[in-house]
Structure 1
Amino acid sequence: MGQLEESNSTSDEVEVESGGSTSPEEQVIFDRGLTAWLQVLVGHLLVINGFGYISSFGLFQSHWVQSLERSSSDIAWVGSLQMFLLFFVGTFSGRAMDAGYFRSLIIAGSALQLIGTFATSVATAYWQLILAQGIIQGLGNGLLFTPLVALVSVYFLKRRTLALGLAACGAPVGGVIFPVVLRQLEGHLSFGWIVRIMGFVILFNTALVLVLARPRVTVKASRPLAEWAAFKEVPYVLFATGIFFTIWGIYIAYFYTATFGRNVIHVSSTTSYTFLMVLNGVGIPGRLIPALLADRYFGTFNTLLFFVAAAGILLFSWMAVEKLDGFTAFLVVYGFCANAVQTLFPSTLAGLTKDITKMGVRTGMVFTVGSIACLTSAPIAGRLIDIEDGSYRGAQAFGGTTVFLGVAFLLSARLAQRDG
């Protein structure tokens, strides 16, 4: 971390882009100042619009399976395509962020999010759903996610994990807001109008982001799209591989919580939406408490390893759940652990980058690797459910196994980092 601060203070290519004149000393100030904490709020709002909306996909999974009369696997492709593009576009948006195009990314990404949301509200065919919610909204999310991680990371050093954790709380907050909107308005408005109201929530957040966002650095020198030298660093490669396997399994519960509640626990659709709210709601302490523990006591990487392993154990434990009480307990504990993983892995990744002028591109490269897992995870799980005539055991076993593979690679990355 000392090398990070030194590189920031001596580089001739780094300048502050805050809309006004700034002294050189301000370029190396971390962890304090109103502007820095406002960027955490900006990140929080962007995560609500992106991950928060995606975290609510169980709502859409349940609705579209019934209204379009498609299989769970077919509908899962919509959500997985959205997740895939969120991560895959990361390399491109990260490089653009490093090159000083943050505001352009915010405008373009937010516009695509809004177009995708409002187009989803009028979708009546499967291909329309793929285009609107899968592709258009996925591209918008991808243009925004890597820049928001980089935006917060370059303002914080010692408190980086906490800052990213606060920003990442937007996922569970959004994951509660959007199901509440559906639950309160269902029966009073059509599904299309409910989705439009969700779109207006996204629009309001976007307006605040455009007012408050202040990207810190731009890179004047020309750089390649990807930093291929990063793949010669053993800890970086092992970490990227570990994140691939972790992501491959950890999001399965988010896609199938509502359908599991309705088809296995045999609760009403309204109660199944409540399950999704529980899974997301516990993410608020799940993102803050582990971040505090990581910053103060155990370190980010060590804390990440613990929660990835715990998530793997819980996915296997899910196979034994058959009753309402057991499922609720599973959602509370798993939601805490899974949200901890989602918060800790970007900050752990940031710790593998010594030069903050490369923060965007190196973050985006790992996200792009993880995008393949996002694309295939839910459809594989959905296909396993369909093959087994509605049984979730195959999907649960798939999730637990891949997460444990992630633990193995992440542990190897940690050991390689220490040896280095």
Structure 2
Amino acid sequence: MNGVEMSNDSVIWDIHSGRKNLTSIKSIELKSSIFHIHKNQLEDKHDIIDKVSTIKDKTDTLFICKEEKNSFPEGGLRGWLAVFASFIGMVASYGTMYAPGVIENYIKENQLNDTSSFEIGWIFSLYIFICFITFILGGTLFDNFGFKKPILIGTIIHVGSLFSLANCRELWQFILGYSILGGFGNGILIPCLISIPSQYFNRKRALAISIASIGGSIGGIIIPILLRKFFSMHRLNQLDYGFIWGIRTWAFLDLVLLLLALMSGQSRIIKENVKDSNIPSWKYYCKILLIDGFDYKGLKDVRYVFCVIATIFTEVSLKAAVTYLGSYCTSKDISNSNAYLIITIVSITGIPGRYITGYLADKFGRYNITILYTLFLTLLMLVDWFPFGTNLTNLYVIISIYGFLSSGAYTMLPVCCGQVTTTDKFAVRYSTMYFIIGFVQLGTIPGTGAIIGWGEKTHYQYYVLFCGLCSFLSLVFFIIARYCSVKFKLVKF
């Protein structure tokens, strides 16, 4: 680098690209500290770089958006309250994502005992689909209106859906009350809960999000145990008595948790929108919610695109595995009580998995750790679970390791998205990513249910193989996403 000129309102870095027909790049004027740095200098500057995106031109340079470390509190009372709000909210919202395994196993043997796994799978597939495509609404509401308003809206819908679920008897009722209403409510909640810690943390972002996401694992422990206890309760003239009051108790619990999150969290950054007085209010807000919510420009960034593809395969693998884990266990002649315990073990071992992963990611690089975890996860499913997960003892060991690795990998998905985008665009990029994933997930669980069929033991082996292959594809695309950013250099990324 030949020289640097700096002023109050601009930063100018003069560099050489190394090409014969290009001598230097000068006079880059910015309001938010943007630099051009040659690729060969990336390792030296890596400790100050937060975001990297490739310029597709003849300069052979990298466009570096440096977010000043001082612009993030990296803690403080409000910062840690934001983490607490995210944590307590995820007990309710992400805890719901762990419930399908227990619910699917129960309704298959009771309310929907004459319905195939393929048809039952649509309940949970539609739930995930509605949830993910609604992320785009939740992220946009968060960016434009802050934390509290969307959390309040999401809480009302989420709790209402659980009360509806308690009274479902037919397939269409489960789809309407749980899949559509519940997915919509959770789709508003989750982007806000994921995004709020990112406004207060940059250098320690992976650790902050990991601590917050532990709430999801705790929810994954509490809710299956709660439902299991209630599902075993019966009255003489009301066989689904335990189901009804188990779901209602769950609804009251989530209401308390989400109200605590609402009171604790507060946005630090709210997007300022300048409204044209000539545009009617309804058109203005429709534009914000329906058009600005999808980040089309982000799809021009190849790093972001490959991150989205990698996340798709991770989501497919993990959601399919968790949803049918209870049924898989019973297919191996394991009792329902032990099947519920195995589902709970996934969440228990996920607690240290999430925290340790976040700590390692901030220390050694977010993509580096994600790739390592995904590699181990793939090997576990294809080399251990597929051939040896046929008895209770083996499953205890395999699922314990699976819970640790899968929770760690899952925690890194929003962090990897944040690694290739700026903080002010994180919520909309994250929501756009899950909007796309939602359409893929629409067929994931029914497709996995089709693989399982009517529950033959051989078909359940195909289900494990399918999850393992999806994890392998996720590994491949995470490697490609990293390559597009820093090639194969051994740097912290």
Q: Normalising by the residue count of structure 1, what TM-score does the alignment of the two structures yield? A: 0.90
Mapped contact 1:99–1:218 kept (Cα < 8 A)? yes
Residue 283 of structure 2 is matched in structure 1 by none
Change over 3 Å in CA distance of 1:279–1:260 after alignment to 2? same
Measured in 1, the distance between the counterparts of 2:466 and 2:87 equals 31
Residue 328 of structure 1 is matched in structure 2 by 396
Measured in 2, the distance between the counterparts of 1:129 and 1:231 equals 35
Residue 300 of structure 1 is matched in structure 2 by 366
1:156 to 196, 201, 209: 201
Amino acid at match of 1:416: C
1:198 to 225, 228, 250: 250
Residue 303 of structure 2 is matched in structure 1 by 235
Residue 378 of structure 1 is matched in structure 2 by 445
2:413 pairs with 1:315: no
Mapped contact 1:50–1:141 kept (Cα < 8 A)? yes
Aligned residue for 2:123, secondary structure, equals: helix
Residue 54 of structure 1 is matched in structure 2 by 97
Measured in 2, the distance between the counterparts of 1:403 and 1:283 equals 17
Mapped contact 1:247–1:373 kept (Cα < 8 A)? no
Aligned residue for 1:136, secondary structure, equals: helix
Match runs of 1:261-272 below 5 Å = 261-264=329-332, 266-272=333-339
Mapped contact 1:54–1:79 kept (Cα < 8 A)? no
Measured in 1, the distance between the counterparts of 2:374 and 2:439 equals 19
2:271 pairs with 1:216: no
Larger radius of gyration: 2
Cα offset, 1:158, TM superposition: 1.0
Measured in 2, the distance between the counterparts of 1:162 and 1:209 equals 19
Residue 81 of structure 2 is matched in structure 1 by 38
Residue 42 of structure 2 is matched in structure 1 by none
Amino acid at match of 1:148: L
Change over 3 Å in CA distance of 1:278–1:292 after alignment to 2? same
Cα offset, 1:225, TM superposition: 2.7
2:345 pairs with 1:278: yes
Residue 436 of structure 2 is matched in structure 1 by 369
> Aligned pairs, how many?
398
Work out the percentage of aligned pairs sharing the same amino acid. Answer: 26
Residue 14 of structure 1 is matched in structure 2 by none
Residue 406 of structure 2 is matched in structure 1 by 338
Change over 3 Å in CA distance of 1:347–1:26 after alignment to 2? closer
Aligned residue for 2:74, secondary structure, equals: coil
Aligned residue for 1:96, secondary structure, equals: helix
Deviation readout 1:220-248 (Å, 9 max, x if unpaired): 13672322121111111111111112212
Residue 215 of structure 2 is matched in structure 1 by 170
2:249 pairs with 1:249: no
Cα offset, 1:413, TM superposition: 0.6
Cα offset, 1:394, TM superposition: 1.7
Mapped contact 1:245–1:373 kept (Cα < 8 A)? no
Measured in 2, the distance between the counterparts of 1:119 and 1:44 equals 26
Q: Normalising by the residue count of structure 2, what TM-score does the alignment of the two structures yield? A: 0.77
Residue 29 of structure 1 is matched in structure 2 by 72
Amino acid at match of 1:318: W
More deviation, 71-80/382-391? 382-391
Greater percentage in helix: 1
Alignment RMSD = 2.2
Deviation readout 1:157-190 (Å, 9 max, x if unpaired): 1110011001111111011101221233344452
Q: State the structure with bigger RCO (CA 8 A, min sep 6), 1 or 2.
A: 1
Mapped contact 1:98–1:360 kept (Cα < 8 A)? yes
Residue 184 of structure 1 is matched in structure 2 by 229
Cα offset, 1:73, TM superposition: 2.1
Q: Which runs of 4+ in 1 moved over 6 A?
A: none
Mapped contact 2:331–2:456 kept (Cα < 8 A)? no
2:87 pairs with 1:65: no
Mapped contact 1:242–1:408 kept (Cα < 8 A)? yes
